[in-house]
């Protein structure tokens, strides 16, 4: 897809090499090309150190690519205009602790030149959306990690951005907290269907439930960019079937539903007893993070 109005993030062959002193270099991102279509929820998935934050910081204009180019909503990065389309949630949001949640949103709204009734209405809407109305007048100092994350999402949404970029929105949360933020992102997508959401995570479950497509990074390189269904197909295709015959139990690993059906028919004809069938979701996660590319990646 060529960069156009339907593309909110366009990354063209971007690399980032860090100079780490004594003439040493470290590769953050290596020859990355990616197009994020408008209005979609796209996940940037990869293990620690795979280049997720580096990619996001380059889109934000905080880091300058060593090579390649990027546009945001059709505008070259970095530029004031490209930045103006984005609502950003950093990896570890930090806020002035002495402010209440509400006054913090007022403060950040002021920085975005929002004032008066428009700002007041926006803050009311956002406090409801992120479910923080009950703590709006409490100091941020007393907020839990999950509450801080919710407030940070509200802050990212202040100026009604067309593009939301969240760097590890579920990081540092326990499983229930993660689920909570997943629910919130789904809600943001429902409430603001026009907005494109691009967020990073190293946990497959986070992205498979929320995203239409997933970009998988490994050691700074794009391994796959495909629809979530493509990822889930791989998962569904791996089955372990335990059968019993002549008082011995044997486990057979099968790839694909067709193979499974054929095997089950054979087993039935031979009078084998099927003891159990399982599909392994961990195998997908392991497969994704292995060195080889596991998916061809249907282009969007
Ligand atoms: N400022 C920097 N100086 C030197 N190397 C860096 C710098 N920032 C990132 N890197 C290196 O670039 C690579 C990618 O880092 P990055 O922070 O983008 O990964 P990540 O996918 O966001 O990881 P995590 O899941 O831990 O947040 C790593 O090897 C990291 O050490
Ligand atoms: Mg990171």
Cis amide linkage into residue 78, ω under 30° from 0: yes
Which residue, by CA, sits nearest to atom 27 of ligand 1?
Answer: 48
- For residue 44, the CA-to-ligand 2 centroid distance in Å is 10
Contact 35, 300 (CB under 8 A): yes
pLDDT given at position 256? 78
Query: Whole-model pTM above 0.85?
Result: no
Q: Which residue has the tokens 């089950």?
A: 264
Angle at which helices 101-111 and 145-156 cross, to 10° = 30
Rg (CA), the chain: 23
Quick check: CB of 53 below 6 Å from ligand 1?
yes
Q: Is the pLDDT of residue 144 over 80?
A: yes
- For residue 156, the CA-to-ligand 2 centroid distance in Å is 18
Which residue, by CA, sits nearest to atom 29 of ligand 1?
Answer: 49
Distance CA 123, CA 132 (A): 11
CA distances from 156 to 152, 238, 264 (A): 6, 40, 52
Q: Is the pLDDT of residue 269 over 80?
A: yes
Average pLDDT of the chain is 89
Quick check: CB of 49 below 6 Å from ligand 1?
yes
pLDDT given at position 234? 66
Which residue, by CA, sits nearest to atom 2 of ligand 1?
Answer: 18
Phi then psi for residue 252, to 5 deg, are: -115, 130
Q: Is the pLDDT of residue 116 over 90?
A: yes
Q: Is the pLDDT of residue 4 over 80?
A: no
Which residue, by CA, sits nearest to atom 28 of ligand 1?
Answer: 49
Q: Is the pLDDT of residue 208 over 80?
A: yes
Binning pLDDT at 50, 70 and 90, where does residue 121 land?
A: very high
What's the average model confidence in pLDDT over 10-20? 96
Q: Residue 180 is encoded by which pair of tokens?
A: 């909570």
Quick check: CB of 50 below 6 Å from ligand 1?
yes
Q: Is the pLDDT of residue 295 over 70?
A: no
Which are the contacts of 246, defined by CB distance < 8 A and separation ≥ 6? none
Q: Would you say the C-alpha torsion 130, 132, 133, 136 has a positive or negative sign?
A: negative
CATH topology of domain 7-227: Rossmann fold (3.40.50)
- For residue 203, the CA-to-ligand 2 centroid distance in Å is 12
Contact 70, 10 (CB under 8 A): yes
Share of the chain above pLDDT 90, in %: 71
pLDDT given at position 284? 58
Q: Residue 164 is encoded by which pair of tokens?
A: 């939301």
Mutation pick for ligand 1 pocket among 15, 17, 26, 66 (CB with most ligand atoms within 8 Å): 26
Mutation pick for ligand 1 pocket among 28, 48, 90 (CB with most ligand atoms within 8 Å): 28
Q: Is the pLDDT of residue 278 over 60?
A: yes
CB atoms within 10 A of CB 270: 9
In terms of phi and psi (left: phi > 0; alpha: psi -120 to 50; beta: otherwise), the region of 4 is beta
Which residue, by CA, sits nearest to atom 7 of ligand 1?
Answer: 18
Binning pLDDT at 50, 70 and 90, where does residue 288 land?
A: low
């Amino acid at each position: 897809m060529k960069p156009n109005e339907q593309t909110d993030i366009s990354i063209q062959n971007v690399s980032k090499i860090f100079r780490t002193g004594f003439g040493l270099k470290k590769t953050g991102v290596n020859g990355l090309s990616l197009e994020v279509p408008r209005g979609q929820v796209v996940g940037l998935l990869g293990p620690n150190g795979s280049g997720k934050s580096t990619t996001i910081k380059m889109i934000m204009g905080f880091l300058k690519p060593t090579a390649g180019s990027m546009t945001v909503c059709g505008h070259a990065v970095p530029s004031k205009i490209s930045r103006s389309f984005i609502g950003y949630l950093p990896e570890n949001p930090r806020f002035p602790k002495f402010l209440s949640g509400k006054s913090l949103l007022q403060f950040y709204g002021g920085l975005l030149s929002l004032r008066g009734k428009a700002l007041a209405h926006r803050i009311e809407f956002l406090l409801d959306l992120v479910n923080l109305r009950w703590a709006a007048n409490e100091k941020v100092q007393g907020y839990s990690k999950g509450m801080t994350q919710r407030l940070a999402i509200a802050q990212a949404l202040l100026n009604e951005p067309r593009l939301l970029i969240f760097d590890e929105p579920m990081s540092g949360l326990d499983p229930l907290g993660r689920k909570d933020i997943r629910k919130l992102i789904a809600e943001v997508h429902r409430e603001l269907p026009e907005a494109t959401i691009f967020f990073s995570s190293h946990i497959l479950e986070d992205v498979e439930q929320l995203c239409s497509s997933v970009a998988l990074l490994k050691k700074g390189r794009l391994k796959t960019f495909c629809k979530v269904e493509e990822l889930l197909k791989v998962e569904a295709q791996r089955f372990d079937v335990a059968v019993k015959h002549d008082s011995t139990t044997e486990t057979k690993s099968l790839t694909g539903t067709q193979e499974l059906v054929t095997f089950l028919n054979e087993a039935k004809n031979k009078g084998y007893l099927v003891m159990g069938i399982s599909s392994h979701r961990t195998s997908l996660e392991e497969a994704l993070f292995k060195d080889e590319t596991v998916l061809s990646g249907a282009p969007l």
